[in-house]
DNA sequence: GGTAGACCTGGACGC
DNA sequence: GCGTCCAGGTCTACC
């Protein structure tokens, strides 16, 4: 049997408007394991899987327009296809943002729009569960521990978590009450009761996806809207306390209003960007953070 | 449909 | 040190 080399280098030709750092660092999930951005080398690091077993350490840089992908260990053709497919999902290489950029000059200038996501929808859902109702540092820790204890370094697969007890996940990963939700979802995905592929169909309607996501135990209105955004449905705003804070501060809104009123006001404000309301909102937030978004461990 | 309280965790803060 | 509060919510029971 031929053994793979220690290192393989792949080359990916991305869409012309892709700026690697902007795509990676414009959404907080780039700080959640197994993701990492190395500012010194301007490299995005992650760990992907080829099949359920093989873990591949990946480093992506953009020395020219093309992406340079370094894989350790080296990969053969089938594994290379898997690496390319997963990076395509992570960096949204198949999405076209030209219509959004026509409406938003600032986002166009910044090359903004490709918000990083995970290699799989399962990982996106679990990551969303770990960022709810918790300080950011805790979310970082939960994802590190999930990778360490249940994913052998990579993000755990549904089958890896499905065979685990919720109390073990809770104890080892410090995820608290989220453990039961995570294990339940993993079991449903592994058993085929929750069809992940259904959501990946680009023709799906955002409302339809939202309704199905809400069936998942642990996915409320905020989480479902956030996951819809990750699926490419940008016409839905994941409104949370951070949105309220941002809106009150940036748009000088009277803080005496009730949340429901503020919620409607926020939706009206971004309506002009339909169907890209979320991107317009997130651009404001990201632009306001500036380099702090990359440098700090808080959002 | 709207609201209140419980739920894990860990850091920040006041005492 | 210790208690309390809070963070990019969700669920359940109750009205």
Tokens representing A97? 């943002």
Q: Judge whether residue A83 has pLDDT over 90.
A: yes
User: Strand B nucleotides below 7 A of a protein CB?
Assistant: 2-3, 7-11
Boundaries of every domain in chain A: 7-110
The reply to whether the CB atom of residue A240 sits less than 7 A from any atom in nucleic acid chain C is yes
Residue nearest to nucleotide B10 (CA to C1'): A138
Tokens representing A274? 């339909």
Q: What is the pLDDT of residue A252?
A: 72
Distance A234 CA to B2 C1' (A): 28
Mean pLDDT computed over A114-143: 92
Distance A64 CA to C11 C1' (A): 49
Tell me which of A20-34, A99-113, A174-188, A232-246 is least confident: A232-246
Which residues 177-236 of chain A have a CB under 7 Å from nucleic chain C?
177, 216-224, 226
> Which carries the bigger pLDDT value, residue A82 or residue A286?
A82
Q: What is the pLDDT of residue A297?
A: 45
- Percent of chain A, pLDDT > 90? 72
Mean pLDDT computed over A40-66: 94
Q: What is the pLDDT of residue A135?
A: 85
Distance A283 CA to C3 C1' (A): 40
Reported as a single tens digit per residue, the pLDDT across A219-269 is 998 999 999 999 999 998 888 877 877 777 777 766 555 667 777 888 888
Q: What is the pLDDT of residue A181?
A: 94
> Which carries the bigger pLDDT value, residue A33 or residue A253?
A33
Please give the nucleotide, over all strands, whose C1' is closest to the CA of residue A178: B8
Distance A260 CA to B14 C1' (A): 33
How far is Cα A290 from Cα A137, in angstroms, rounded to an integer? Answer: 19
Name the one residue in this structure whose structure tokens are 């991305």: A14
* Gyration radius of chain A's alpha carbons: 19
Q: Judge whether residue A159 has pLDDT over 60.
A: yes
Q: What is the pLDDT of residue A292?
A: 61
Mean pLDDT computed over A113-140: 93
Superfamily name and number for A7-110 = DNA-3-methyladenine glycosylase AlkA, N-terminal domain (3.30.310.20)
> Which carries the bigger pLDDT value, residue A132 or residue A3?
A132
């Amino acid at each position: 049997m031929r053994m793979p080399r220690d290192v393989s280098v792949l080359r990916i030709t991305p869409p012309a408007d892709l700026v690697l750092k902007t795509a990676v660092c414009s959404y907080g999930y780039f700080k959640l394991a197994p993701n990492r951005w190395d500012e010194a080398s301007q490299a995005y690091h992650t760990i992907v899987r080829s099949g359920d077993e093989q873990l591949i350490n990946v480093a992506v840089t953009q020395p020219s327009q093309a992406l340079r992908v370094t894989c350790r260990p080296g990969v053969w053709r089938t594994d290379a296809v898997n690496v390319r497919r997963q990076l395509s999902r992570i960096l949204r290489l198949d999405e076209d943002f030209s219509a959004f950029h026509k409406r938003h000059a600032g986002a166009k200038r910044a090359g903004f729009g490709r918000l990083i996501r995970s290699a799989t929808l399962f990982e996106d859902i679990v990551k969303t569960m770990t960022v709810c109702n918790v300080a950011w540092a805790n979310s970082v820790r939960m994802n590190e521990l999930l990778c360490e204890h249940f994913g052998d370094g990579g993000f755990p697969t549904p089958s890896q978590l499905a065979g685990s007890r919720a109390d073990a996940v809770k104890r080892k990963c410090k995820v608290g009450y989220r453990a039961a939700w995570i294990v339940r979802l993993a079991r449903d995905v592994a058993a085929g009761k929750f069809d992940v592929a259904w959501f990946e169909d680009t023709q799906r309607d955002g409302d339809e996806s939202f309704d199905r996501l809400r069936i998942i135990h642990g996915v409320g209105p905020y989480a479902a809207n956030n996951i819809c955004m990750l699926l490419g449905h940008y016409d839905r705003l994941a409104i949370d306390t951070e949105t309220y804070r941002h809106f009150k501060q940036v748009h000088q809104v009277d803080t005496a209003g009730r949340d429901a009123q503020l919620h409607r006001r926020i939706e009206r404000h971004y309506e002009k960007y339909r169907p890209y309301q979320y991107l317009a909102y997130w651009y404001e937030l990201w632009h306001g953070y500036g380099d702090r978004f990359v440098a700090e461990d808080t959002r």
